[in-house]
Amino acid sequence: MNRRIYVGLDIGSISSEALLLSEEGILSYSIMATGPNPKRATRECLKEALSKGGIGEESISRVVATGYGRISVPFKAKEVTEITCHARGSHFLFPRTRTVIDIGGQDSKVITLDDRGRVTDFVMNDKCAAGTGRFLEVMAHALEVKLSEMGRRSLKTKKGVPITSMCTVFAESEVISLIAEGYGVEEILKGIHDSIAHRIFRMTRRLRVRGEITISGGVAKNEGIVEALKNLFGMEINLPDEPQIVGALGAALYAKEMI
Amino acid sequence: MANKAIGLKFLRKMIHFPSTYSFVLPFFNLLHSKENQAYRVWVRFLLSTFRDAYAHQKPVVWINSFLPSELIYGLDAIPILPEIISALVSYLGWSGRFLSRADTSISTDLCSFYRCALGLALEDFLPRPDLILSSSQLCDGANKFFNYLSRLYHCPHLLLDPPYSDHPRSHRYMEGQIKEVVDKATKILSLPLRKERLRLVLNRSNQARHWIEKINQLRQTIPSPFPGSEGLSYLSGMTFHSMGSPWALRFFPLLYAEIERRVFSKKGYLPEEKHRFLWLHHVRPYYKNEIFNILSSRGIALSFEEANYLYWPPLDPSEPWKSLADKILSNVWAGPIERRMKAIEEMRVAYSIDGVIHFSHWGCRQSCGGAAIIGDWLKEKGISYLILFGDGADPNNYSPGQTRTRLEAFIEMMG
């Protein structure tokens, strides 16, 4: 039987994701570093997702590309922005979502949506990558902590050291000074996460946030930031099993719905 | 590197010769032979202004955009607007060098149009002013910048300081200020103030105003006959710089005829018009950018721009100072935000607007300050609204990826 396979490709500044979708649901996905060549990342990522799903390239019905590298995807049927795709993907996973917080590699976005998953408004960070994945990478490096361990370690303490600089370069210097002053790594990590959460919370204030909130993007894997956001919003936040594929899922859903 | 320096030195030398402008004019005509006639008049206007300024046959007065150029033409002097020159330099892709030069003297947080102009001044690329006359309306930073330049050039600086409110007392106060400034200017420039000339200039301004009104009416046509990207360049440039000059009476009727021709042929500037947008702010990015291509390729017509909103009443040539005071104080971008909102509502209805982009130019507090209030108000009315962060003259503050994502997501949101 010929299954129709729809592909969503999210080519971000740090990571790329490919997701295969059929009428039955998600078949497989892959996540890898984008690196300096987005075209190569696209090919490799799709190849891996196809291999994981045991599917041949010939089964692909349609590809929709999203993310910063969407323009460079050669075999797409359509390009859709990551804002629209994250909204669509989040709504698919949590249909009562009305606000999406997407923190990616180089930018963060807050998106409001209607009951059909369509974007009604959005805000993005501007001019700098403070409070995004790249910011966290630099901080992890300064603190000599693995990126994947940052969240868990920050939850070991209740009191964070306030980080006043949001410029990545200045914040790195501030973190190094705090280490020199004798503050514990966990306290500094909590301070970093709190400052990012505050920044996101302020962004949401520019929109009319209502209904359920879903968080997506690679930074959502950081438990410390999710926890800080829950505290600020005073409510639960939907966290997908794999927050990094929400954009690709949205793109695949658009591929499926295209006539 | 050495070749570049020699090239720049040569260019600097050449632009100081009035004959250069007469020499390059035929080449410009040839180069722009496919452009509309109004555009060509604009190019000729700029070249002739520079030629006259370097010829020093008349005094050169530097002004800023919201100071009525009628005052300078009325004095029979040559108005030079550094902001417009910065926009041109940015359009030609040369702003980087001059911005870097300015950054050695002034904060990078200042408006890039002024920073670029300062770089041009420091590198001696501008005609020297005999007088600087600036207005504090909308931008106090502009005055500090002009004051800095007056020290640099050792030339006098006069200031018009329009009050915030539109109260009748403000009009009388403004009228008095204009009289005082004109009195000082005539003494500084040793120019007699001739009433007949002033009357002529105000009459010309009124005639040009009449054509602007007609152009704005034509632009209400669906599909949009004239792109907002051009409305924000040579059209608004002429409105800021040429009012009161004979050039305005050549430019505006020609542009009207060109737009009328397009309206008669029932062809919009886009093959298919899905949405009609209004652009808020007086400027746009002038350096190479993708903004207008992104909009056009998705069927978004930039139908109108607030830079060309006709806010002032016809001038009364028998009462020039009062008229010019009225013109200054009717500026909808100054004073309470409700005035600007009223104008936006008028434009929204007249141009059948369904989407609004508020360009937030880096360093421009006056417009960015009101962006959120306008946004909330428009969204209440169900009008899609986007604040687009960027910079008019400094390409370093332009992020292509983020700008594309913002614009495309906004268009996707509108469906």
CB contact under 8 A, B402 and A124: yes
Q: Which B-chain residues 318-377 have CB contacts (< 8 A) with chain A? A: 372
Instruction: For residue B413, list chain A residues with Cβ-Cβ distance below 8 A.
Output: 83-84, 118-122
What residues make up the domain containing B155?
Answer: 2-192
CB contact under 8 A, A68 and B379: no
Q: What is the pLDDT of residue A207?
A: 86
Question: Across the 415 residues of chain B, what is the mean pLDDT of every consecutive 10-residue run?
Answer: 70 88 84 86 94 93 95 97 96 94 88 94 95 92 90 96 93 97 96 94 98 98 98 97 98 98 95 97 96 97 98 97 97 93 98 96 78 93 94 92 94 94
Q: pLDDT by residue (tens digit) across B277-296? A: 999 999 999 999 999 999 99
Q: Which CATH superfamily is domain A5-83+246-257 in?
A: ATPase, nucleotide binding domain (3.30.420.40)
Q: Is residue B209 part of a domain?
A: no
**Ramachandran angles phi, psi of B411, nearest 5°:** -70, -40
> Domain ranges in chain A?
5-83+246-257, 96-239
Is the pLDDT higher at A171 or at B359?
B359
Is the separation of the CB atoms in B68 and B328 below 8 Å?
yes
Burial class, B257, CB count within 10 angstroms (exposed 0-12 / middle 13-18 / buried 19+): middle
Structure tokens at A81: 């922005």
CB contact under 8 A, B413 and A126: no
Predicted model pTM? 0.92
Q: What is the pLDDT of residue B370?
A: 86
Residue range A31-54: mean pLDDT, rounded: 93
Q: Is residue B6 part of a domain?
A: yes
Burial class, B50, CB count within 10 angstroms (exposed 0-12 / middle 13-18 / buried 19+): buried
Q: Is the pLDDT of residue A154 over 90?
A: yes
Cα→Cα distances B151→A168, B54, B156, B343, Å: 39, 20, 8, 38
Burial B108-147 (b: 16+ CB within 10 A, else e): eebbbbbbbbbbbbbeebbbbbbbbbbbbbbbebbbebbe
User: Does A118 touch chain B if contact means CB atoms closer than 8 Å?
Assistant: yes
CATH number at residue B102: 3.40.50.11890
**Ramachandran angles phi, psi of A250, nearest 5°:** -60, -45
Q: Is residue B31 part of a domain?
A: yes
Q: What is the pLDDT of residue B24?
A: 87
CA neighbor of B238 nearest in space, from B71, B46, B75, B367: B46
- CA nearest to B373 within chain A: A206
Task: Give the 3-state secondary structure of B139-162.
Answer: CHHHHHHHHHHHHHHCCCEEEECC
Q: What is the pLDDT of residue A127?
A: 65
Q: Which B-chain residues 64-83 have CB contacts (< 8 A) with chain A? A: none
Distance CA B70, CA B34 (A): 31
CB contact under 8 A, A120 and B413: yes
Structure tokens at B375: 């946004």
Q: What is the pLDDT of residue B385?
A: 96
ipTM of the complex: 0.90
- CA nearest to A69 within chain B: B401
Residue range A197-222: mean pLDDT, rounded: 91
Instruction: For residue A206, list chain B residues with Cβ-Cβ distance below 8 A.
Output: 372
Task: Note whether A5-83+246-257 and A96-239 share their fold.
Answer: yes
Q: Is residue B75 part of a domain?
A: yes
Nearest to A81 among B372, B379, B408 (CB): B408
Q: Is the pLDDT of residue A63 over 90?
A: yes
Domain A96-239 belongs in CATH node 3.30.420.40: yes
- CA nearest to A205 within chain B: B372
Q: Is the pLDDT of residue A1 over 60?
A: no
CB contact under 8 A, A124 and B408: no
CB contact under 8 A, A127 and B389: yes
- CA nearest to A12 within chain B: B401
CA neighbor of B385 nearest in space, from A246, A257, A160, A122: A122
CB contact under 8 A, B409 and A68: no
Instruction: For residue B374, list chain A residues with Cβ-Cβ distance below 8 A.
Output: none
Q: Is the pLDDT of residue A223 over 90?
A: yes
Total domains present in chain B: 1
Q: Is residue B266 part of a domain?
A: no
Q: How confident is the model at residue A109 (pLDDT cuts 50, 70, 90)?
A: very high
Q: Is residue B295 part of a domain?
A: no
Residue range A62-84: mean pLDDT, rounded: 94
Residue range A152-180: mean pLDDT, rounded: 87
